[in-house]
Structure 1
Amino acid sequence: MLEGCVPWPESFARAYRAGGYWNDELLGDLPLSPPGARDRTAVVTGDRTLTYGRLDEAADRLAAGLRGLGVRAGDRVVVQLPNDVEMVVLCLALFRLAALPVFALPAHRSAEITHLVNSSEAVAYVCADHVLDCDYRAVAKEVLGAAHTLRHVLVAGDAGPFTPLAEVAADPVDLPAPDPADVALFLLSGGTSGPPKLIPRTHADYTFQLRRSARLCGFGPGTRYLCALPMGHNFALACPGVLGTLRVGGTVVPAPAPTPESCFPLIERAGVTVTSLVPPLVPLWLDAAEWTEHDLDSLRLLQVGGARLSPATAREVPEGLGCTLQQVYGMAEGLLNYTRLDDPESVVFHTQGRPLAPADEIRVVREDGAEAAPGEEGELYTRGPYTVRGYFRAAERNRTQFTEDGFYRTGDLVRRTAAGYFEVVGRVNDVINRGGEKVPAQEVEEHLLADPRIASAALIALPHPQLGEQTCACVVPRDPGHPPTLREVRAGLRDRGIAPYKLPDRLEVVSRIPLTAVGKMDKKALRARFGD
């Protein structure tokens, strides 16, 4: 396994192979189209269609082109592309080349991309030219000035001073196959303490996730999956998502944004049967469905995950969107939980599912360290055939995040029902779940303290009717007579290059940050004061 990664113990690896969880399937084998299916539609957007045969050829040519640039097996490539054909082709090309994609998120800016390049020692960064308010070529220029391993910037669209992705192609060449136990890609942690950690996922564990998830969710050749959420998210990529759809011969429908305005026309035009959303989007879709002129009758399944969906909103989905609801609770580190398609409404509306695999081992641990009984609240610990044993090159973090016997401490507070389903209660770690986007308080606080106008700062979560949680920066100004405004604080953070979703929603100026008896910031007191 790649240096800096933590392997599964050999005894567990043998057991997972013997149990059929791991096999010799490789992500580079995708798409798995049956004989005679090369003319079947693999990817369709608002203006482009790609058959399985053309997708296969495009991935081979891009893999050869990347190899011609000097990208080799094991090299890391930071990928930040919007949902489109290029993203699908690039993923398959990197898997075939055995180069390792590091999936950045669309909202990341220079600070995050520089961190990802440096921590992974990436040799290439692949981005779009311009999406909405961001010129990613400008981001690339900043990253190049701060990253020393980066040799290539490849741009989809107008490349400016960089290399056009469309020109990186060559005649296909034979490429050596990796070992199924090798790392295939890197996902990002939620960043509960500082910048995100890199999560190494292997061919064996990730292809198992695809197989089992696709089977559980009823994916097949007739599936038309609308990828509304960013494709670099584990949820949209592989739960079963884009890769799971391609594995069973279905059709992927990338959407430029998860809004009803972008997605409803695609649902009608492409006959979409399933899609995935985070909870804040569900009420927007329900409201829009009442007045839309677009035909949504093809939609059969809506997956909702990334945060807890309120039971009241869950009850509206079957009638409001005319489809089955499936709650999904999981993490990029591994464990996935699903409500089943035949579960009663009481389970689907009130829980976030149960584990995907029989080999998923679960502990729910109370604050006092004892095992929680059914219905009792505790932190979820897990290990299994697709839950990693450690982050990449993060020995100190691994010592606190993983137990000595290999269980991952998720930081999630849950209650487990007698039937094994989870109800997600909240977070142990100091991270704010802003509508499914994980905002690490410590990272934002460090950026706030870089503002010369701020002497002390604490970022807290406050309730929000749509987002679930909003971020509130509580700051002590250096000059009490001239405290900074929210606009000024947000502008300063933008100048530091952090992602827009990490910018505080609210600002409270305080004379001091309260402390607990042991000298830590008392965020509970701040939440009580400003939580209205």
Structure 2
Amino acid sequence: MFDFEGRTLSLERAQAYLDQGVWTNESAVDLLKQSVDKYPDLVHKDETRSLTYRELWNEVETFAASLYELGIRRGDRVAIQLPNVLDYLVAVFGAARIGAVIVCQQIDLGRDAIVRSLEQSGAKIWILSENYRGQSLYEMALEVRESVPALERIVLQGEEAQPKGDTITFASLRDGSKKLPDDVLEANKAQPLDGYLMVFTSGTTGSPKGVVHLHASYIWALRAYAKNFGFQPGDTVLDIAPIYHQTGMLGVQMSIVTGCRIVLVDRFSARQVLQKVEAEKANFLVGAPPHVIHVANAPNLKSADTSSIKLFIYAGAPVPSAVLQRLQADGGFKVAAMFGWTEGLVVVATRPDDTLEIISSTIGSQIPGVEIKLMDEDGNEIAETGVEGEMWARGPNFSAGYFRNKVAAERQYDADGWFHSGDLLRKNANGRYSFVARVDDVINRGGTKIDPKGVEDVIAEHPSVQMIAVVAAPHDTLGQQIAACAVLKEDAPAFTLPELRDFLGERGLAKFQFPDLLHLVPELPMTNTGKIRKVALRDWLANGAEGLPTN
């Protein structure tokens, strides 16, 4: 079993899953090969190229051989920081083919977060896009490498990528017809209890946590979710969610486990998505709440032929019921919701036969096989319906723990393996759940979780700032946006929101962490013990930022 400090899954529990047949003796690579053998000519597409299952497998084999030649072996970590391209799948399955653990990195991470994730994961190779949204990442990559001595090689991906210095191009590792000898493949073959994906999430604490998913747990989850939503061999899945987010990763891998074809969208446009639905006869869309909202507001929604669509699956944050109603009435879309966390993927979801009323008012029912309970503040299980409580969960879909982060593991999990989510929910009489709120102050900006403390720490470095609080403010499309409330030092010059963003960018903060709003206030509301009353600030912003609450 892939072992590490911070592992929360006991060997006894893992072995019981295997002995009981809950987990199967397979790896994710085995599932890909099964679909390759059954549907070799089914075509996948991204925005620039296409691959059949057979061609995808050939590139996976060649890429695995190339990684092996670079010294990668079973258990080593390979970091991937790519947009929605077919090369992402080649990299994931090529690394997994020789038992490596894939470290998933958000494409727009700031430099400091990249360094921390590479250091903590111990990645030997870092695969990244040479150019993202017109901006070269090469110089930043060199800076990162100087900060991470253990990083051995940098691989640049992209149609225009050229070898620079001692970097390697992705195409040079992918193209050709190499295949490792059978004995080498067997020696490095991923086992069910080996690490598969390592996904870094800041969660509620501000410090990155490397969530480790095993092959066995991920496979169980993929099959359970694909069954829940009714995926069928030959279906076309249009994935508009970033693959580096688990919504997107689940979308493409549910497709592979079922034998579907994948169409990837990297640059989102609601109009173009509807055009792709028509052209590709897409059966499923997988996206985030902002995607759902923008498609619902698209001017060509009523005229588009969406008759092929079975479900528009989303996860990340609630979507207003009016949007779901408009999407179904004007576009004929039926929407499905997934609810969960990076640690346990999806624990609750709606079903294809759920009514619009159910989809609009709940996040669905418990996934069969997953254990869930709602707990009150004293740690007692809530038996009554309609009473809100913190959701605890465990099951065969859960990760093995936090890589090299025992403190976070002990804080988030208890001795019996229950994950304490920090989310407040209610259960109705029909067994369906409704999301209430976060217990903590994490900002959920369109499905991307932003820890306020990480932003506050950098803003606090500004020479004019005396006190700072970063909180969520309501937003019609994203659900929440980032609001910075700052108290200036006496006689210090004021600054504008653009100036603040420039300041944060110079200090390595990622753009998705930049505040959307800036309020310069005379004071912040405080408790008697000297803590900032963030609840009061959120209420103030929700009510139009008038009449700042006092101490």
TM-score (norm. length: structure 2):
0.91
Q: Structure 1 residues 36 and 180 mapped into 2: Cα distance closer, same or farther (>3 Å)?
A: closer
Q: Of 330, 336, 356, which residue of structure 1 is paired with 2:340?
A: 330
Following superposition, the deviation at residue 13 of structure 1 comes to: 2.5
Q: Say which of 327, 331, 334 aligns to 1:317.
A: 327
Matched residue type, 1:203: H
Please tell me whether residue 167 in structure 1 is matched to residue 172 in structure 2.
yes
**CA distance in structure 2 between the partners assigned to 1:383 and 1:131 by the alignment:** 37
1:231 equivalent in alignment to 2:236:
no
1-structure distance, mates of 2:241, 2:104: 13
1:129-278 counterparts in 2 under 5 A? 129-157=130-158, 158-159=161-162, 161=164, 162-169=167-174, 171-173=178-180, 174=182, 175=185, 176=187, 177-238=189-250, 241-278=251-288
Shift of 1:208: 0.6
Alignment of 1:446 with 2:457, yes or no, is yes
State the match for 1:379 in structure 2: 390
Q: Do the aligned residues in 1 keep the contact of 2:394 with 2:418 (CA within 8 Å)?
A: yes
- Contact (CA 8 Å) 1:46, 1:266: kept in 2 or not? no
Report if the CA contact (8 A) 2:221-2:396 is conserved.
Answer: no
SS for the counterpart of 1:458 is: strand
Match of 2:365 among 341, 354, 357: 354
Structure 1 segment 349-498 matched on structure 2, within 5 A? 349-358=360-369, 360-372=370-382, 373-388=384-399, 390-498=401-509
Provide the rounded CA distance (Å) in 1 between the counterparts of 2:446 and 2:10: 36
**Structure 2 counterpart of 1:72:** 73
Whether the 8 Å contact between 1:257 and 1:263 is mirrored in structure 2 is no
Summarize the Cα distance change of 1:502–1:357 in structure 2 as closer, same or farther, 3 Å threshold.
same
Does the 8 Å CA contact 1:82/1:231 hold for their aligned counterparts? yes
For the 8 Å contact 1:32–1:249, the answer to whether it is kept is: no
Q: Give 1:293 deviation, angstroms.
A: 6.1
Q: CA distance change for structure 1 residues 479 and 145 in 2, over 3 Å: closer, same or farther?
A: farther
Where 2:237 maps in the other structure, the secondary structure is strand
Give 1:149 deviation, angstroms.
1.1
Deviations 1:196-229 (A, max 9, x none): 3110000110011111111111112121111101
Per mean C-alpha deviation after superposition, the further-off stretch among 286-295 and 101-110 is: 286-295
- 2:530 maps to 519
TM-fit CA distance, 1:119:
1.1
Mark the CA change 1:153 to 1:211 in structure 2 (over 3 Å): closer, same or farther.
Answer: same
Letter of the 1:264 partner, please give it. Answer: L
Report if aligned partners of 1:84, 1:256 keep a CA contact under 8 Å in 2.
yes
Give the counterpart letter for 2:215 in structure 1: H
Matched, 1:45 2:57: no
Structure 1 residue 528: deviation in Å? 3.2
CA contact (8 A) 2:464 2:492 kept: no
Describe the superposition over 1:110-163 as per-residue Cα deviations: whole angstroms up to 9, x where unpaired.
Answer: 122111101111111111111215322232122112112111110112145221
Unaligned stretches of 5+ in structure 1?
none
Give the residue type in structure 1 aligned to 2:168.
T
Give the conservation status (yes or no) of the 8 Å contact 1:229–1:277. yes
Give the one of 501, 504, 514 matched to 2:515: 504
1:251-278 Cα distance to aligned partner (Å, 9 max, x none) = 0101112321442332222221101122
Q: Which amino acid aligns with 2:238?
A: L
> What is the DSSP-based 3-state SS (H/G/I as helix, E as strand, rest coil) of the residue aligned with 1:379?
strand
Task: Quote the residue 1:20 is aligned against.
Answer: 21
Residue 380 of structure 1 aligns to a residue whose secondary structure is strand
Of the structure 1 ranges 86-95 and 413-422, higher mean CA displacement relative to structure 2 is found in: 413-422
Question: How far apart are the structure 1 equivalents of 2:380 and 2:36?
Answer: 54
In structure 2, the residue matched to 1:4 is 5
**Identical counterparts, % of pairs:** 30
1:389 and 1:402 in contact (8 A); partners too: no
Give the counterpart letter for 2:260 in structure 1. G
Q: Is the partner of 2:32 in helix, strand or coil?
A: coil
SS in 2 for 1:315: helix
- Give the total of aligned pairs: 529
The aligned runs of 1:275-294 (5 Å cut-off) are 275-288=285-298, 290=300, 294=304
Residue 106 (structure 1) shift: 1.9
How far the C-alpha of 1:97 sits from its partner, in A, is 1.5
Q: Describe the SS at the equivalent of 2:116.
A: helix
Shift of 1:185: 1.2
Matched, 1:63 2:74: no
Which is further off, 500-509 or 291-300?
Answer: 291-300
SS at the partner of 2:225? Answer: helix
Residues 6 and 406 in structure 2, CA contact (< 8 A), matched pair in contact too: no
Normalised to the residue count of structure 1, the TM-score between the two structures is: 0.94
Take 2:7 and 2:43, find their aligned partners in 1: how far apart are those partners?
Answer: 35
Contact 2:96 2:190 in 1 (8 A): no
Contact between 1:107 and 1:499, CA under 8 Å: does it hold in 2?
yes
Matched, 1:296 2:327: no
- Distance in 1, matches of 2:478 and 2:44, equals 31
* 1:284–1:35 distance in 2 versus 1, CA, 3 Å: closer
Q: Which SS does the other structure have where 1:370 is aligned?
A: coil
1:126 partnered with 2:127: yes
C-alpha distance in 2 between matches for 1:104 and 1:447: 21
Amino acid in structure 2 at the alignment position of 1:172:
K
Deviations 1:271-327 (A, max 9, x none): 211011222222210221545765333222101211012222222222222232111
- In 2: Cα distance, 1:230 partner to 1:286 partner: 19
Contact 1:42–1:249 at 8 Å: present in 2 too?
Answer: no
Q: Is the 8 A contact 1:182 1:202 kept in 2?
A: yes
Question: Matched residues in 2 for 1:101 and 1:315: separation?
Answer: 39
Distance (Å, rounded) in 2 between the aligned partners of 1:2 and 1:163:
31
For 1:396 and 1:47, the matched residues in 2 are separated by 44
Three-state SS of the structure 2 residue aligned to 1:220 is coil
Q: How far apart, in 1, do the equivalents of 2:136 and 2:303 lie? A: 34
Letter in 2 for 1:384: G
With over 3 angstroms needed to count, the CA separation of the structure-2 counterparts of 1:335 and 1:37, relative to structure 1, is closer
Q: Does the 8 Å CA contact 2:18/2:25 hold for their aligned counterparts?
A: no
1:334-393 CA-to-partner distances (Å, cap 9, x unmatched) read: 1511111112332222111122222x2212112343323211111111111122353111
Change (3 A) 1:178 1:32: closer
Query: Cα offset for 1:99?
Result: 1.1
Rounded Cα–Cα distance in structure 2 between residues aligned with 1:479 and 1:389: 50
Distance (whole Å) between structure 1 residues aligned to residue 156 and residue 327 of structure 2? 39
Q: Is the 8 A contact 1:44 1:252 kept in 2?
A: yes
Q: Which amino acid in structure 1 is aligned with residue 198 of structure 2?
A: F
Q: Would the aligned equivalents of 1:193 and 1:441 in 2 still touch at CA under 8 Å?
A: no
Answer yes or no: is the 8 Å Cα contact 2:350–2:364 preserved in 1. Answer: yes
